Chain A
Amino acid sequence: MFNLQRKITLLILPIVLVGILVMGISAYVLMKSIIEENLHEELEAIIGNVTLIIKEKIKVAESNIDLFAQNDFVKRYALASQDERYDLLQEPLIRLFITYQKAYPDYYELRFITKKGFEDTRINNLGIENKTEDEFNSEIFKRIQQSQSDTYSGFHVNKDNDVLALHVIKKIIIRDNSIDNISAKPTLRGYLAVTISLDFIKDVINKQKVLDNGFIFSADNYGTILSTEMHKAKIKELPLDINNQFISSAKQLKNSSRDFFQSARLIEGLTIYGYIPYSDLEIKYRTFGKITVITTIVILLLALFLVYSVLRKMIVKPVIALDNAAQTMATGSLDIKIDLKQNDELGKLAESFNHMAANLRELNEYNNFIAHHDSLTGLPNRLMFHEYLSEVIENAKRYKIKFAIIYIDLDNFKKVNDSLGHQSGDLLLKEVSIRIATCLRDGDKMKETKKDMPGDMLARLGGDEFIVFLPYIQSPYDVSQIAERILEALGSSIKIEGHKVYTNASMGITIFPEDGEDENILMRNADIAMYYAKDKGKNNYQYFSSDLNNVIARRVIIENKLRKAIKKNILELHYQPKIDTRTSEIIGVEALVRWTDKDEGNISTVEFINIAEETGLIIEVGEWVINEACKQIKKWEGVFDSQLQVSVNVSSIQVDRSDLIGTIKNALENYKIDPALLDIELTESALMRASKNSIEVLNNIRRLGVSISLDDFGTGYSSLSYLREFPIDTLKIDRSFIKEISENNKEAKLVMAIISMAHSLDLKVVAEGVELKYQYDFLKEKNCDIIQGYYISKPVPKEELVNRFSLNNYKKDLLLQVQ
């Protein structure tokens, strides 16, 4: 870019340079003449000034001499005879002159001159000796005699000291009033003369500053010069004209020195000259010259700078920007926009460029899309899937989370395709993809948990192969849910161009990181799992990890069965009796669910309760249990010595999620039983898991009149706080305590303490898991209220309970060992 700039600069610069130089030079020339003109005027003014001062002095002197002449004494002197004068009047006249001189010291000589030109009285304060007393021939005397006026002023050389002085002489023309009469004409009696020193001119001249070396001087007609000492030398050098006078009123001497010269004629005899040496002018010229040069240079630099920056801004920069953008684009990055708001060609170029970039971007995006998506279904394609997969593997490793891949292969697609044609096949694929997609989880919800993870994705790998990508799973079960959903979705028929088409899928599932940490491995294992599924008869899904298969499979099976069991009332309640230790009478039972499946046989309560809780089926189970219990309570009215209270286990899930109160209330009402006969057993852990509402729920249950027992007491973390917070009637000591009781050991002491504490809180105590006599004896001794355990009986079906425990039958059995 420097080249362009340089080129343009080199082109414009000379023009600018020349222009400025011309300007500078012409300014200089103009200024020079102005300076000269000014100087001329200035000199004239100065000379004028000096002239004025001198003229003023003359005026004052003339009026003074007038005043002196008016003095009576002077007049008398003029009128007196010689004798009278000298004898009497001269001394006073001298004294008068002296006083005048004291007032005007530069009037250095005052004289009284007789009519005939005789210097009668002379007072000189400079001690200058009188060369002659005869003034008759003096220039001054001649002039005054010739003059029409009675006063003459002029510059003449004082013959006494050969120094130029200002002479003022006045005729004394008066009447002698003592002799003449009024009508007599005044006659000339004598003259009064004043000689004034020209020091004042010297002062004035000295004070006048004419530049640095210029000066003023004066001269009379005879070349007598009046100036300061230091200038005398210079004056001598000045040229004289033919008359030996200084060249007057020449603005500039025509000699080689080119000095300035000017003059003004004063009054009689004196001329004022002004002189300025060329060197002074030169200095002025030089100063101005310097200024001009500096100014020119400054302007030039400014111009240069301006040109440079304007060029740069308006041309070079935009071009560079365009070039940069083009280069960026060349590298493939299309995300560029040139911000050039110039309202000119370059601006337009930038605009076009931006359009082009935008278009390319669009095109790029389109291409990108095409590259990543399946044209038929619009689903992400294999390429995109793999990109996704790599990204997710990264994040999954970082956050240590699991994700799953479901490899879906449609069963019998080829058949469909062949029989119905490719078009139908395509339609089928489209429909399938839609259906599978609906089975996936809501992407937004997913994103709440893990921001970096993408949502569930369905991709078409090609042909009839799809892949479902579940980027965030908590357990394999999550995957099963979706897999099941997919199987179900594909289970129903699809209408294709009037035909009902059935298609199923075989699915293989791999889970990260268990089934592989590498995308290829994961894909391959998913493929294997898929083939396994196909092997297993199609229309199913298989996990790559075989164990999982089993566990999950069983789980699902159990779940399904349980659902049916609940519906079909296959579940049963067994009852374990509770004995009052004091009366040894049965006062209640704990109801426990039992399930015998025709295929599986007896399914352990632990297993199915877990599954129930995991699936939420516990609620239905629990509901059934409560109803069944209430039903039984009703049925047992009058059967036993005292009405049996039935305890029912309740899980935290029921407390949280179900309308437990509603269920209980309905059951109580339906079977019309005394609420006190129903007891709810909750474990500490269950309470722990339950939410805050649980207290309220329990309180409500209590209000219904139902009893509440705290089960497995002593196993939870903060048993005592539950006593404080929850409304409890009975405390059930966990079997682990009872089991360990021996001679005064810790467990024994704890049990005692629990009993004591419970009693002090007005709670009943039930000991669970009592299996041996000594335990029974201990507990009885320690005033445990109720005993439950194998020592009394294991949980039995209702028939057996009735048989064994109604109407005294049990009493005998107590002495016997537990069956």
Chain B
Amino acid sequence: MRQSVMINNSFRKQSILPFVIALLISLPVSANKELTILNWSEYMDPDLIKKFEATTNIKVRMTYYESDDIRDDMLINTNGKGYDIVVTNGPGIKKYYKKNWLEKINHKAMPNIKYIAEKWRTAFSQSKEYAVPYFWGTTGIAYRKDLVKKQVTSWLDFFKPEPGLEGKLSAPKSSKDLIGMGLKALGYSANSESKTELKKVEKLLREQKKYMKNYIYMTLDNNSPLITGEIVMTLAYSGDALVLTELDENIKYIVPKEGGNIWVDYMVVTKKSTNKDNAWKFLNFINEPKHAAQLANFVYYATPNKQAEKYLSKDFLQDKIIYPPENILNKSEYYRSIHGNAKRFRNIIFGSIVR
């Protein structure tokens, strides 16, 4: 997943936008030739959109969020209304399912789903029935090889950085990633619910704080703090890192030896959507192998669409960042949704450290 270029942590802004959209949607529309998608920014090829619009005459409206949490907030605020398609991470599916916000996959309207590898379809709870895999990738460390003494190999290089890097680190404000990868750094599972283990992670994160410049995910242009050198190391997602490595050859991306996180993004159709048909049409459209390949080339992420691989370049398919090696994949984990007290505990840890 990609974080938006503009990370605007404005609660207020988020609140207004869905309301506006909800309002718009609630207006009587004669022919529902509309589609609203809630997504990360730069996570959709505009050309493809245009193509779709041209083909179907359906007007596509994109709404963006900067983090999973914010996405959750947006949906909570509207109570699942206002968006037709939502791009969500794996664990989110169960959350939204529980809230009864999800529409079951309409196989009939979306035959192209057959192109998607089974593996991805079942990766998460309720994902098979309610979510269409979008892209998958890894979570690792992006760093400036020229600005660190020791080359990064372990998560501990990030969580217990070498001296001199105070204020030179960054990470997205993602509790799953920080706590999860922290657990992995300490040799535990990223989905651990053990209080003792979590306490250790709490300590780890607390001590890391002084190295953190901020908990804001870097931008992905030439002004990126990783390129300017404001930060020398950050927790990053594979595709984003790939973009940066192409901008600056000093930037490297690695999934540390402990393994990282394999994330899978899905597209879900909201139950409260009034444009479900359009939604399925869209989902079907983008899962056309050619289209899926086009998308992949745009976002630089691994597509779950097996058939799309036919249309992808060798370079693409052999890129280690996009398609990490087996051993790393084996060590890496999917995030599970955490519940109950463990969740509570994580919430509290994250809330108190990452303010």
Contacts and interface: CB of A to CB of B under 8 A. Distances in A.
B76 A124 contact: no
A61 interface: no
A113 interface: no
Given A88-B99, A91-B69, A92-B76, A98 B351 contact: yes
Contact of B351 (A82, A89, A123): A123
A352 to B, nearest CB: 109
B112 interface: no
Interface string B80-119: 0000000000000001001100000000000000000000
Nearest to B347: A90
Given A83-B98, A83-B340, A88 B352 contact: no
A121 B348 CA distance: 7
Contacts of A122: 348
Interface in B336-355: 337, 339-341, 343-344, 347-348, 350-352, 355
B175 interface: yes
A640 B339 CA distance: 194
Contacts of B355: 98, 125
Interface in A80-129: 82-92, 94-95, 97-99, 120-125, 127
Contacts of A86: 339-341, 343-344, 347
Contact of A95 (B99, B348, B351): B351
A263 B17 CA distance: 57
A87 B337 contact: yes
A87 B76 contact: no
B277 interface: no
Contacts of B69: 91-92
A92 B351 CA distance: 9
A108 to B, nearest CB: 12
A94 B72 contact: no
Chain A interface mostly helix, strand, loop or mixed?
A: helix
A102 to B, nearest CB: 8
Nearest to B351: A94
B73 interface: yes
Interface in A559-595: none
Which range holds the interface residue count of chain B?
A: 20 to 34
Contacts of B350: 91, 94
Given A83-B98, A88-B72, A124 B352 contact: yes
Contacts of B340: 82-83, 86
Chain B interface mostly helix, strand, loop or mixed?
A: helix
Contacts of B352: 123-124, 127
Contacts of B343: 86-87, 90
Contacts, number: 57
B12 to A, nearest CB: 11
Q: Which of A84, A85, A91 has the most CB of B within 10 A?
A: A91
B347 A84 contact: no
Contact of A91 (B11, B72, B99, B337): B72
Interface in B300-355: 337, 339-341, 343-344, 347-348, 350-352, 355
Contacts of B347: 86, 90-91, 94, 121
B73 A87 contact: no
A592 B215 CA distance: 162
Contacts of B11: 95, 99
Interface string A320-355: 000000000000000000000000000000000000
Interface string A610-630: 000000000000000000000
B353 to A, nearest CB: 10
Contacts of B76: 88-89, 92
Contacts of A91: 69, 72, 175, 347, 350-351
A617 B351 CA distance: 157
A121 B345 CA distance: 9
A88 B341 contact: no
A457 B45 CA distance: 159
A635 to B, nearest CB: 166
B216 to A, nearest CB: 15
Contacts of A82: 340
Interface in B44-75: 69, 72-73
Contacts of B99: 84, 88
B348 A94 contact: yes
A83 B339 contact: yes
Given A84-B98, A87-B337, A88-B99, A120 B351 contact: no
A125 B353 CA distance: 9
Interface string A695-717: 00000000000000000000000
A91 B95 CA distance: 13
Interface string A655-690: 000000000000000000000000000000000000
Q: Which of A82, A89, A95, A99 has the most CB of B within 10 A?
A: A95
Contacts of B351: 91, 94-95, 97-98, 123
A120 B341 CA distance: 9
Contact of A92 (B73, B95, B98): B73
Contacts of A85: 344
B339 A87 contact: yes
Nearest to B344: A86
A117 to B, nearest CB: 16
A87 B95 contact: yes
A212 to B, nearest CB: 44
A253 B355 CA distance: 51
Contacts of B72: 88, 91-92
A98 B173 CA distance: 14
Q: Which of A87, A88, A91, A92 has the most CB of B within 10 A?
A: A87
B344 A120 contact: yes
Contacts of B175: 91
A90 B344 contact: yes
Nearest to A130: B348
A89 B72 CA distance: 9
B303 to A, nearest CB: 29
B202 to A, nearest CB: 10
A125 B340 CA distance: 24
A122 B339 CA distance: 18
Contacts of A89: 76
A125 B73 CA distance: 23
B339 A88 contact: no
Contacts of A90: 343-344, 347
Nearest to A81: B98
A127 B355 CA distance: 12
B211 to A, nearest CB: 18
Contacts of A87: 95, 98, 337, 339, 343
A559 B351 CA distance: 161
A97 B350 CA distance: 13
A147 to B, nearest CB: 28
A706 B205 CA distance: 161
B343 to A, nearest CB: 4
B320 to A, nearest CB: 34
B173 to A, nearest CB: 10
Nearest to A122: B348
A127 B205 CA distance: 13
Contacts of A92: 69, 72-73, 76
A302 to B, nearest CB: 75
Contacts of A124: 352
Interface string A51-93: 0000000000000000000000000000000111111111110
8 contacts: A83-B98, A86-B339, A87-B95, A87-B337, A87-B343, A91-B69, A122-B348, A127-B352
Interface of B: 11, 69, 72-73, 76, 95, 98-99, 175, 337, 339-341, 343-344, 347-348, 350-352, 355
Interface of A: 82-92, 94-95, 97-99, 120-125, 127
CB-CB nearest 7 A-B residue pairs: A94-B351, A86-B343, A90-B347, A86-B344, A98-B355, A87-B95, A91-B347
Given A83-B98, A87-B337, 17 more contacts: A83-B339, A85-B344, A86-B339, A86-B347, A87-B339, A87-B343, A88-B76, A90-B343, A91-B347, A92-B69, A92-B73, A94-B350, A95-B351, A98-B351, A120-B344, A121-B347, A127-B352
